[in-house]
């Protein structure tokens, strides 16, 4: 399926090597690589192996976590993002997804300022490497310690504050933004401004039993995924639909069966996406 991408974290128990074998068998065309999957690996070799497996590297997850309480902390975050840019360049990832960060006890306004400053600090290196950056707004339940950017409107505001450089855009993840009454308008705006850099899908289970690791497979929850996908496509977006599922439930089972289910649920959602 031409637009199906799977994140390595989705099948966390599998090594990257196993992902490169199992993903293509299910018609997956793209792979988003999480940095922990790269530990100890030769990045140039990963780029080659991924290409040989017939997979396109869609993005690297993740950079960000810019806010900090000290100057040294801010610099550590910048250094880590510079390293992520080098890694993305080496594995051939055209994009880094930014989970922007937040600091309990620090105002969200201050954190957003630090996020904008952090992105500005690494932007020249990203531009030079030909790597784009995508701000991913996170659901407000993560506003304490994972991201002070919780809506697409706030992500747009940071892009605008940076002078709307072409390299900086937004990753739309249905899990984080499906509830937003402005969602369609903000997706439209992302299309108009050239900021729609990535689209992530999964589902919201009821009741959610874990704030981080209880995401559902598409169809297991209440998100209007198809409708949001149509809004995204209506902007002219032709990129990947990236399946990003953190789930203790799915991780505890057989990952090959899980990948079969991902492929089936994607095909049911997007019957018009042709097989490769
Ligand atoms: Zn995401």
Query: Residue 179: what pLDDT?
Result: 98
- Stretch 169-176: mean pLDDT, rounded? 98
Is 200 within the bounds of a domain? yes
Is 258 within the bounds of a domain? yes
Q: What is the distance in A from the centroid of ligand 1 to the CA of 263?
A: 18
Q: Fill in the DSSP letter of residue 220.
A: S
Is 195 within the bounds of a domain? yes
- Stretch 156-185: mean pLDDT, rounded? 98
- Stretch 247-263: mean pLDDT, rounded? 98
**Does 276 have pLDDT greater than 60?**
no
- Stretch 188-217: mean pLDDT, rounded? 98
Q: What is the distance in A from the centroid of ligand 1 to the CA of 171?
A: 7
Closest by alpha carbon to 170, among 85, 232, 108, 80? Answer: 232
Query: Residue 274: what pLDDT?
Result: 77
Is 170 within the bounds of a domain? yes
Q: Each residue of 63-76: pLDDT tens digit?
A: 999 999 999 999 99
Question: CB 246: neighbour CB atoms within 10 A?
Answer: 17
Are 215 and 232 in contact by the 8 Å Cβ rule? The answer is: no
Is 82 within the bounds of a domain? yes
The burial class, CB within 10 Å (0-12 / 13-18 / 19+), for 192 is exposed
List residues, by chain if needed, whose CB lies under 5 Å from ion ligand 1: 173, 200, 244
Q: Provide the domain count of the chain.
A: 1
Q: Each residue of 107-145: pLDDT tens digit?
A: 999 999 999 999 999 999 999 999 999 999 999 999 999
Q: What is the distance in A from the centroid of ligand 1 to the CA of 152?
A: 13
Is 276 within the bounds of a domain? no
Q: What is the distance in A from the centroid of ligand 1 to the CA of 105?
A: 25
Is 275 within the bounds of a domain? no
CATH of the domain at 165: 3.20.20.150
How far is Cα 81 from Cα 122, in angstroms, rounded to an integer?
7
Q: What is the distance in A from the centroid of ligand 1 to the CA of 244?
A: 6
Is 171 within the bounds of a domain? yes
- Structural domain that includes position 132: 4-269
pTM, to two decimals: 0.97
How far is Cα 67 from Cα 108, in angstroms, rounded to an integer?
10
**Does 222 have pLDDT greater than 70?**
yes
Q: What is the distance in A from the centroid of ligand 1 to the CA of 163?
A: 24
Query: Residue 243: what pLDDT?
Result: 98
Q: What is the distance in A from the centroid of ligand 1 to the CA of 132?
A: 16
């Amino acid at each position: 399926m031409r637009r199906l991408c799977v994140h390595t974290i989705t099948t966390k128990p599998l090594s990257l090597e196993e992902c490169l074998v199992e993903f293509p068998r299910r018609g997956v065309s793209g792979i988003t690589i999480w940095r922990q999957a790269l530990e100890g690996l030769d990045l140039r070799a990963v780029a080659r192996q991924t290409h040989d497996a017939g997979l396109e590297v869609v993005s690297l997850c993740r950079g960000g976590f810019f806010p900090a309480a000290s100057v040294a902390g801010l610099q550590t975050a910048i250094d880590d993002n510079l390293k992520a840019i080098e890694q993305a360049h080496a594995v051939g990832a055209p994009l880094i997804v930014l989970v922007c960060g937040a600091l309990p006890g620090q105002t969200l306004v201050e954190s957003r300022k630090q996020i904008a400053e952090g992105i500005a600090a690494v932007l020249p290196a990203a531009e030079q490497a030909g790597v784009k950056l995508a701000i991913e707004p996170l659901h407000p339940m993560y506003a304490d310690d994972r991201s002070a950017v919780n809506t697409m409107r706030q992500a747009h505001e940071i892009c605008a504050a940076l002078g709307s450089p072409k390299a900086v855009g937004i990753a739309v993840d249905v899990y984080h933004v499906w509830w937003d009454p402005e969602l369609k308008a903000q997706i439209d705006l992302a299309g108009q401004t050239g900021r729609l850099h990535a689209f992530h899908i999964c589902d919201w289970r009821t009741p959610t039993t874990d704030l981080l690791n209880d995401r559902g497979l598409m169809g297991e929850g209440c998100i209007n995924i198809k409708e949001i996908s149509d809004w995204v496509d209506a902007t002219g977006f032709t990129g990947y639909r990236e399946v990003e599922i953190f789930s203790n439930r799915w991780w505890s089972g057989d990952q090959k069966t899980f990948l079969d289910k991902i492929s089936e649920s994607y095909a049911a959602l997007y019957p018009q996406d042709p097989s490769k």
